[in-house]
């Protein structure tokens, strides 16, 4: 994830104004050991958008889809988009949640053979949507067999939300914060999942 790094479009904001942003910076340091890039480059300049992102994430947390599947979908969408920050951040959230990383590593290689039929259907649909404006036409037949109409809507919501975050990070040229490797090492040392985390990027 560190290859082809370039400088971000804007300078970071390291001294945020207002209690809300200062709290967000504090929580980021506590959860991830650093202030994540979207906070420093994006949300620090438009804190109202951080509130919107938090509401989007709360909606995602209430979906009926399995948490592991939700993580697979969002990380795979990030890989399809080529968003280095989002790939790393999604992996970091998976590590903190104790979801394991074997399947998530397979996503980087675009190898779907290790997944269940249900997971494959969701991931193939994700790939189709991310690669084409007419992605729905390329939805795998198994999608309707494996998921209800409501669940398909939830998958689309996750893809749309991830695209939003991808655009923020890629639009500003944000690089990976290298969170996942560090958190993975800490979790292995501790022998247990870390604190629950909130996605804000």
The string of pLDDT tens digits covering residues 100-150 is 667 878 888 899 999 999 999 999 999 999 998 888 888 999 999 999 999
Q: What is the pLDDT of residue 102?
A: 79
The 10s digit of each residue's pLDDT in 22-70 is 999 999 999 899 999 999 999 999 999 999 999 999 999 999 999 999 9
Is the pLDDT at 194 greater than 70, yes or no? no
**How far apart are the C-alpha atoms of 150 and 65, rounded to whole Å?**
10
Query: Tokens at residue 164, please?
Result: 């939003």
Query: Left, alpha or beta for 46 (phi > 0: left; psi -120 to 50: alpha)?
Result: beta
Look at residue 50 and tell me if it is in a domain.
no
Given its phi and psi angles, is residue 6 left (phi above 0), alpha (psi -120 to 50 degrees) or beta?
A: beta
The C-alpha R_g of the chain, in whole angstroms, comes to 17
Q: In the predicted model, what is the mean pLDDT of residues 4-18?
A: 91
> Does the pLDDT at position 1 exceed 60?
no
Task: Tell me whether residue 178 is in a domain.
Answer: yes
Quick check: is 30 in a domain?
Answer: no
Note whether residue 23 is domain-resident.
no
Using CA atoms, how far apart are residues 140 and 120, in angstroms rounded to an integer? Answer: 9
Q: Is residue 39 part of a domain?
A: no
- Is 110 within a domain? yes
- Helices 149-171 and 84-96, axial angle in degrees (round to 10): 130
What is the domain extent for residue 90?
65-190
Cβ contacts of residue 21 below 8 Å, gap of 6+? 39, 43, 44, 47, 50
Count of beta carbons in the 10 Å neighbourhood of residue 185: 11
> What tokens appear for 62 in the block?
């209430």
Q: Which helix (H) or strand (E) holds 166?
A: helix 149-171
CATH number at residue 163: 1.20.1290.10
Confidence (pLDDT) at 196: 47
Give the pLDDT band of residue 2 (cuts 50, 70, 90).
Answer: very low
**Beta carbons of 94 and 88 less than 8 angstroms apart:** no
pLDDT reading at 193 higher than 70: no
Please tell me the predicted confidence (pLDDT) of residue 188: 66
Domains held by the chain: number: 1
Is the confidence at residue 13, as pLDDT, over 50? yes
The larger pLDDT score, comparing residue 99 to residue 147, is at: 147
Q: What is the mean pLDDT of residues 183-194?
A: 65
Query: Is residue 47 domain-resident?
Result: no
Q: Per the domain annotation, does 87 fall within a domain?
A: yes
At 90, is the secondary structure helix, strand, or coil?
A: helix
């Amino acid at each position: 994830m560190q290859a082809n790094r370039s400088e971000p479009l804007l300078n970071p904001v390291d001294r945020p104004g207002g209690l809300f942003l200062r709290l967000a910076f504090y929580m980021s340091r506590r959860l991830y050991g650093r202030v994540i890039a979207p906070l420093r480059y994006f949300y620090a300049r438009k804190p109202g958008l951080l509130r919107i992102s938090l509401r989007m994430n709360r909606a995602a947390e209430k979906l009926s889809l399995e948490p592991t599947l939700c993580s697979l979908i969002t990380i795979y969408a990030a890989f399809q988009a080529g968003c280095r920050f989002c790939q790393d951040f999604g992996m970091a959230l998976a590590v903190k949640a104790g979801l394991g990383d074997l399947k998530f590593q397979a996503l980087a290689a675009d190898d779907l053979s290790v997944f269940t039929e249900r997971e494959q259907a969701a991931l193939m649909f994700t790939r189709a949507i991310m690669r084409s404006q007419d992605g729905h036409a390329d939805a795998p037949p198994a999608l309707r067999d494996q998921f209800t109409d409501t669940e398909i809507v939830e998958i689309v919501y996750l893809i749309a939300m991830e695209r939003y975050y991808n655009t923020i990070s890629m639009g500003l040229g944000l690089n990976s914060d290298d969170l996942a490797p560090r958190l993975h090492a800490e979790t292995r040392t501790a022998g247990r999942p870390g604190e629950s985390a909130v996605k804000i990027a």
